């Protein structure tokens, strides 16, 4: 008798849990909770060396990827923008350590550039990495681009379990570094 009561309560709990999961799933589908939709609603923000980049026109979400207007973003990175006549590409020149020129074809999101209504848009992470900047995804809609000279120098220290930890392993994450000495 006791076993039947315990099994009955477990079954009742499982049915209640499954009902709750199904209800949440149905409500989520009706409201439209998808990663892409939430990204479109919130907008996209990019900061370069801790300064937020203002875009006019606004960034666009196309085929699952954020694109930003080229000129304001290139200016923040210190890149020169050239449109060679008679071609369907844009050339970006500059870089962190040396002068690098990279051609980007239009209408190829994989290459990094698209033309929308006469405005050139680029994938900010692709362009930043190409020219030697560090890129961190702060959230689904926030990207942080950092010039390597603004990063802390690389070092390795042991943790409390005497395991070596590199500072690089914590890049892009909020990190509290507590250093003490016993001298």
Range with the poorest average pLDDT among 10-14, 86-90, 150-154: 10-14
**Domain ranges, ordered by start, for the chain:** 2-33, 40-150
Q: What is the pLDDT of residue 114?
A: 85
Q: How many CB atoms lie within 10 A of CB 120?
A: 19
Residue 56 pLDDT level (bands cut at 50, 70, 90): confident
Q: What is the pLDDT of residue 164?
A: 93
Question: Which two three-digit tokens encode residue 154?
Answer: 């690389």
On the question of pLDDT at 174 being above 50, the answer is yes
Percent of the chain scored above 90 by pLDDT?
A: 13
Q: What is the pLDDT of residue 14?
A: 53
Using a 10 angstrom Cβ sphere, with 0-12 exposed, 13-18 middle and 19 or more buried, the burial of residue 48 is buried
């Amino acid at each position: 008798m006791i076993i039947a009561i315990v099994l009955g309560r477990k079954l009742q709990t499982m049915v209640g849990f499954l009902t709750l999961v199904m209800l949440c799933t149905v409500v989520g589908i009706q409201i439209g909770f998808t990663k892409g939709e939430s990204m479109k609603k919130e907008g996209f923000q990019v900061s370069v060396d801790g300064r937020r980049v203002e875009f006019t026109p606004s960034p666009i979400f196309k085929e699952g990827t954020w694109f930003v207007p080229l000129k304001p973003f290139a200016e923040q990175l210190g890149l020169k923008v050239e449109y060679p006549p008679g071609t369907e590409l844009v050339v970006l020149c500059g870089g962190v350590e040396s002068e690098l020129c990279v051609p980007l074809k239009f209408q190829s999101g994989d290459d990094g550039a698209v033309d929308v209504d006469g405005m050139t848009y680029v994938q900010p992470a692709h362009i930043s990495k190409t020219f030697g900047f560090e890129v961190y995804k702060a959230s689904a809609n926030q990207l942080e681009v950092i010039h390597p000279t603004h990063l802390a120098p690389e070092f390795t220290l042991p943790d409390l379990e005497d395991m070596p930890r590199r500072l690089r392993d914590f890049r892009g994450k909020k990190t509290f570094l507590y250093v003490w000495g016993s001298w």
